[in-house]
Each structure stands twice: as structure tokens, then as C-alpha cells.
Structure 1
């Protein structure tokens, strides 16, 4: 078998179990059982011995430690008043039930990704130069070609991310300074209980930050796994950290995009986010009605 998660048994049994797993829709299940889960959402997973739990951030000064009571952690590093200093730009918490995965080949991904973005940039510059030489009617055609090349670039970057295991992504919350402790406490409790994502972080307070919104990132294991992305968003809804149709939506961004510097207003015209909460809530409703 390829991994500890593979099924054992005769061929018929394995095929039957695998078919049941493949057909299981996580997003629909979470939506359908929302009321039941809400009654038990504070219940942690069965306890494990500390040696069976995981914390990839144990060496960081700004991280929750295995065995540390959540109340102590929140009191030790309250994001509203924990100031930035070198080595303490983020406060981290890990899902202790999620085992570590092999490190992504970050340097190779960045190298290949930048080369692909450079090709897109060259294409855009050539098209822009040609816009000045052609009749106005032909400019729309040039714009379509640029859009086509942009889509091809995004597809290529996704393939690179998969090839080099740059798969993690995150939902991003932007609480006001006066709310950041409350928001972070909910995220920490759910992460440590194993009911949210694989990890989370919040930025520390920068000098002169004043009333600027803070950043809370809630990580999932694979940006391609839309059902898991939806599951985590649904948990955030249960925690009342997002409400469908109210306020501005949340956005989900892949770590691959962060590594390549694809932010809002980037010169390539690539969307910095893969999903919005509005998109995923629609996806969840459709998935639920189809079952």
C-alpha cells in the first residue's frame, strides 16, 4: 500500500470502501448536519498522549506549545498587545492531530514560477506595444489573447505548485484591533480541538499600526480540495466569524501565490485569491441540493 490511509482487504472490499470514500461529499455533509454539529462543536477529539500529537511550530517563540493550556497561551501572547519584534512577526497555532508532511520544494517552485510570470509579462508588453500600431478594432483581439495567456499562466503555476508540493492555502480574516483577541481565541480553540484547519496564525502588533485591521490566516492542507476548503469555511460560519450575505466576504489564497508575490493590484492581472466565501457558500448549497 502507498500510505497508512489505504484500505486493506480483498479486492472487492477495497474497491467498495474506496468507492464510498470517493463519493462522500464533505461540504454537503457539513451543511446537512449543521444543527447537530452546532450542539457539539466545542467537543474536542478523543485525547491522545502528547507523543502522538504534532506541533511543527514548537521551536517558535510565538507559538502554542503541546500541553500548554489554551487560556495560558492566549494570556501569554494576546495579539492585541503583543508587539512585533524580529523573530516574532506572527503568533502560531497548529492542529495537533494533523501529522507533518514533507516540506515543499519552495525554492524550485519560486524559480519556475517567476520564469513563467516573466513570460506572461513579456507577452503583455509585446501586446501593449502592438496596440499602438493596430486599428482600434483589432485591440479587442489583442486583449483576448492577453487574457488567454493569463489563464494559461495560472494553470501552469498550479501545475508547478502540485509538482513541488506547494499545496497549502488559507482563509484570511481581517478583524479590527478591538476584536482581534476574541476572533483569535475562537480560531485557536477550534484549531487545537482539530475541528478547523491544519494551522492558523495572527500578525503581531506593528509600531504605529493604530486602528489598522489585523490579519488572521486559517490554513487548509490543499488548495485543490474544495470540499475541505468548504468544510473549514463552514466551521468559521459556526464560530460566527463569517456570515453569508453579511459584510464583506472572506477570501482564500494559496501559499503558492504568496510565495510569488501575487497580491492585489499585481502587474500580471492575476487574481490574488482562488475563492471567496460567497463562491464557496454557493458551492456548498449546490452540493447539498444534488444529494
Structure 2
């Protein structure tokens, strides 16, 4: 790259980019982003989470929702009342869900502030990407490889900012996702629901109700904090013990709730991966640092 102008284009392009950056609502975004920066940095390097302690179960925060387990019923009664293979979708019954009664409640989330700041950051990246691509088309000395490299770097910085903002706003839960077929969904959900109720998996779990008889069902198994890779690994290992996943088998993926809130799915226009971890990656992570889990 000869100079900055080779990347951003002529003076009109540079002026337009500078105006876009100037209009970015940095005060509101950084206010949320930095208010818990010290907490985020500490949480990023915290030791592995201890096992969920035994004690008196607390109330289910989902109690009262149509598809939630009732406090008055056993897990067996809950499974019998709402078997996912035959429980049809209807308004208010998109999901069947159960919470870990031993997991402490999640901290309050600043969802509106997260969405606002994150959407502005994504819009800024999209504009940078558009302007860089447009400028490249006019610059004969700018190679496609260089353009891709610079856009990839901008994307990495955007992802880092979004994750940091999610931490500052407590939008830190995430979920492992299973997709059993309709013939297996009851068996899979029984294992997941029972283990969740016993405090063996994550903070909560849910399964889609039936929309079509032949459709795979999404089962989500939530962990408290996507930054706590050791806890993410612990839940995956328990899923392996329950024969819900196995090393070398069909991969499953872990997605942060922050990405769901922003509508980041496969094939999105930002080119951001829809998931954070894969099961094969986490199984590999376990093998490379065995001393941490002994």
C-alpha cells in the first residue's frame, strides 16, 4: 500500500469516511463499553468455574411461561406434559424450557444499550467495507489480496469491539446447539432436561416445539458466560458423557446470545462467523491443556 489514500480513495472518499466516523455516537457506545471494562478483563482471565454447588434450589425464572417447567411438577411430569415430538407450536409456545434450579440468576442485562452500540459498530464496519471496495475498484495498484487482508483486519477489530461491548452490558450467555431429528428429539430432550434439572449442564435449556413433522428441532443448552471457555468445555464434556455428542462425530456449535440479539446467522453480510466454538475445537482444547482439568 503506497499511502492511506490508496486504501480510502480520493479526497471526496476520505471526507465521506471522516464524516461517517464523526457521526458515530461514540459517547453512548463507549459509556456502556468502558463502564465494566475492568470487570471484562478480569473475567477473560478468570480460573475455571467450580462445579455448581449443592443447596436449596431457587425458583425457576421461566415459571409462568407457557412452555416452562412448573415448580409443582417433577421432571418426569414435565416431560410427559410437553413431549417435543408431539407438542405443536402455537402463539406463546415457541419453546419448551427448563432451568437449572441450582444456578444463581444471571445479572441484569443492558440489552437496549448493547443493541444500539453494536448496531452502530456493525454499520460502521459495513460502510468501511463498502468504501474500501469502491475505492479499490478505482485504484489500479491495489490488489484483491490486499483488499481482503485489510477488510479481514477491520472485521477482526469489529468482532473484538462487539464482544467487549457484550461483556460490558452483561450480554454474555451462550448456547451449545443440537439438531436432533423428530424421531430422536424426545430421547435427546429427556437427557438434556434431566441433566439440567440436576445441575449437571448449564443454566437453562430449551427445545423448539413442532412446526413440521419432518423438521429437525433445535435444542439449546445455555452456559453462563461465553468468555468462560472452561465452563463451555465442562458442559460439552457432560454432553459427551450423555452421548449427545462425541469427538470425531457430527460437529455441534456454540453461539453467543450477543450474536442472536444482532441477527448474526450464517451467510450474513458482514462475513462474521455465526458461531464462536465448535465441538471439535473444544475437544481439542481439552487435549492440549490437560493439566488445567485434572
Contact 1:54 1:97 in 2 (8 A): no
Show the counterpart of 2:253: 251
Partner Cα separation in structure 1 for residue 61 and residue 283 of structure 2: 31
Indicate how the Cα distance of structure 1 residues 131 and 69 shifts in structure 2: closer, same or farther if over 3 A, else same.
same
Normalised to the residue count of structure 1, the TM-score between the two structures is 0.81
Shift of 1:109: 0.5
The one of 159, 164, 169 aligned to 1:164: 169
The one of 202, 208, 211 aligned to 1:203: 208
What per-residue deviation string (whole Å, max 9, x for no partner) do you get for residues 239-287 of structure 1?
Answer: 00001002x2010000000000000000000001110000000011112
2:110 matches 1:108: no
Aligned length: 249
Shift of 1:152: 0.3
Q: What residue ranges of structure 1 are gaps of 5+ in the alignment?
A: 1-21, 31-43
Contact 2:48 2:228 in 1 (8 A): no
Shift of 1:120: 0.8
Normalised to the residue count of structure 2, the TM-score between the two structures is 0.80
What per-residue deviation string (whole Å, max 9, x for no partner) do you get for residues 126-172 of structure 1?
Answer: 12212322337522111111000000000000111011100100000
2:64 matches 1:59: yes
Show the counterpart of 1:232: 235
Moved over 6 A (4+): none
Partner Cα separation in structure 2 for residue 116 and residue 227 of structure 1: 29
Indicate how the Cα distance of structure 1 residues 158 and 46 shifts in structure 2: closer, same or farther if over 3 A, else same.
closer
What per-residue deviation string (whole Å, max 9, x for no partner) do you get for residues 19-48 of structure 1?
Answer: xxx99656xx99xxxxxxxxxxxxx98563
Show the counterpart of 1:96: 101
Partner Cα separation in structure 2 for residue 57 and residue 23 of structure 1: 29
Give 3-state SS (helix, strand or coil) of 2:177's partner: strand
Q: What residue ranges of structure 2 are gaps of 5+ in the alignment?
A: 1-44
Give 3-state SS (helix, strand or coil) of 1:135's partner: coil
